[in-house]
């Protein structure tokens, strides 16, 4: 009937129509349907600066190495509190302009970490700026490129009052007195990265992770053990603190204070230490501001982290219990109210 091997029109037309039909079914129609997704009511519309930051993100093609999708398998729990859903992308995946389409932020390679929740995980502006200037200042093993062209190196008399100065260590400067100043592009990109936070969706079952079948070690019962068994302090420290204060507790000179040998860390009175962790800290102009961690870390987490800090890198103060942390948290909450 079709006579494909002799009739070119029939061959071309059939392959065209069948392919087009399949394309409609498997690509165009689902695309139209997914495009209709509404944003979550709790989602905030991005600010102008955040959108500009997204454009920098696209222009530097960050999507080549960073994904923004928390898959619905348990191993991805590191990257978000829940699996990503289509609504999450409502604002970030609109067409950019006449020339550029909706950015492919989902990505296909995780050469670097997923960024879905990086605003929560890495809240500090100073850290982001240093990391962008040269990632190896804060993470020695990192292979991410430095974006030094988004910063200007100025001599002290060129620095204006409005300039955002990044406390880059001296060995990265051409003259020790020079200052590194972030350009608007860098600031916008950091604003965008800080805005990347998963919107809460309490009580929605449809977005649960598929659990891993790996056997979980049941936490030891604290009442029988006499002393509460705390989570792994080293692991928590690496996750939440090491990015700035470094794994060796030395911090980054001029950016993040050292914890090794620090008075606040080793003090018998825990209040200052725990308060700083809960509420953040920005009292010392020579260092960057520390964001608050009160919402992210539980009393047990904080106890484990501080115990680790007080017993490492030559520090030798006594351990901290969750109970002590709880008391100070109550105190902090009281004074806030």
Q: Contacts with other proteins in 78-97 (CB under 8 A)?
A: 78, 83-86, 88-90, 93-96
Q: How far apart are the first and last CA of the chain?
A: 83
Q: At its nearest, how many Å lie between other proteins and the CB of residue 301?
A: 16
110 binds other proteins (CB under 8 A): yes
205 binds other proteins (CB under 8 A): no
Subset of 111-140 contacting other proteins (CB under 8 A): 111, 113, 134-136, 139
* Burial (CB count within 10 angstroms: exposed 0-12, middle 13-18, buried 19+), residue 285: exposed
Are the CB atoms for 305 and 241 separated by under 8 Å? yes
How many residues sit in the footprint of other proteins (CB under 8 A)? Answer: 84
Sheet holding 151-154, edge to edge: 151-154, 179-182, 165-166
The residues, ordered by sequence, that sit 6+ positions from 43 with a Cβ below 8 Å of its Cβ are: 87, 88, 90, 91, 199
Q: Contact with other proteins (CB under 8 A): which of 102, 155, 184, 248?
A: 102
Pick 7 or 333: Cβ nearer other proteins = 7
Pick 31 or 267: Cβ nearer other proteins = 31
Binding window for other proteins (CB under 8 A); candidates: 20-28, 123-131, 193-201, 219-227: 20-28
Pick 91 or 332: Cβ nearer other proteins = 91
Subset of 138-197 contacting other proteins (CB under 8 A): 139, 141-149
109 binds other proteins (CB under 8 A): yes
246 binds other proteins (CB under 8 A): no
DSSP labels for 58-114?
Answer: HHTTGGGT------SBGGGGGG-SS---GGGGTTTTS--SSS--S--TT-S--SS--
Tokens 């392959």, residue located: 15
């Amino acid at each position: 009937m079709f006579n494909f091997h002799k009739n070119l029109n029939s061959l071309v037309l059939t392959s065209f129509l069948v392919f087009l039909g399949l394309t409609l079914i498997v690509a165009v129609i689902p695309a139209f349907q997914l495009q209709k997704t509404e944003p979550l009511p709790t989602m905030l519309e991005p600010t102008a600066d955040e959108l500009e930051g997204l454009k920098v993100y696209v222009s530097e093609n960050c999507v080549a190495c960073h994904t923004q999708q928390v898959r619905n398998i348990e191993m991805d729990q590191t990257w978000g509190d829940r699996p990503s859903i289509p609504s999450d992308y409502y604002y970030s995946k609109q067409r950019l302009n006449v020339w550029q389409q909706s950015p492919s932020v989902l990505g296909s390679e995780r050469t670097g970490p997923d960024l879905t929740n990086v605003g929560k995980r890495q809240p500090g502006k100073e850290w982001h700026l240093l990391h962008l200037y040269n990632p190896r200042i804060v993470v020695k093993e990192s292979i991410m490129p430095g974006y030094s062209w988004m910063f200007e190196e100025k001599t002290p008399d060129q620095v204006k009052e409005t300039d955002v100065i990044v406390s880059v260590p001296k060995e990265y400067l051409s003259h020790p007195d020079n200052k590194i100043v972030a350009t608007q592009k860098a600031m916008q990109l950091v604003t965008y990265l800080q805005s990347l936070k998963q919107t809460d969706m309490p009580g929605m079952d449809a977005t649960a992770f598929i659990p891993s079948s790996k056997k979980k070690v049941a936490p030891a019962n604290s009442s029988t053990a006499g002393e509460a068994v705390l989570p792994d302090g080293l692991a928590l420290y690496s996750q939440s603190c090491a990015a700035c204060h470094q794994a060796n507790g030395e911090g980054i000179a001029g950016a993040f204070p050292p914890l090794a040998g620090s008075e606040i860390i080793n003090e018998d009175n825990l209040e200052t230490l725990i308060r700083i962790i809960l509420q953040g800290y920005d009292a010392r102009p020579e260092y960057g501001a520390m964001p608050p961690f009160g919402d992210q870390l539980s009393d047990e987490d904080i106890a484990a982290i501080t115990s680790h800090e007080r017993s490492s890198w030559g520090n030798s103060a006594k351990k901290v219990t969750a109970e002590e942390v709880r008391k100070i948290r109550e105190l902090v909450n009281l004074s806030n109210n």
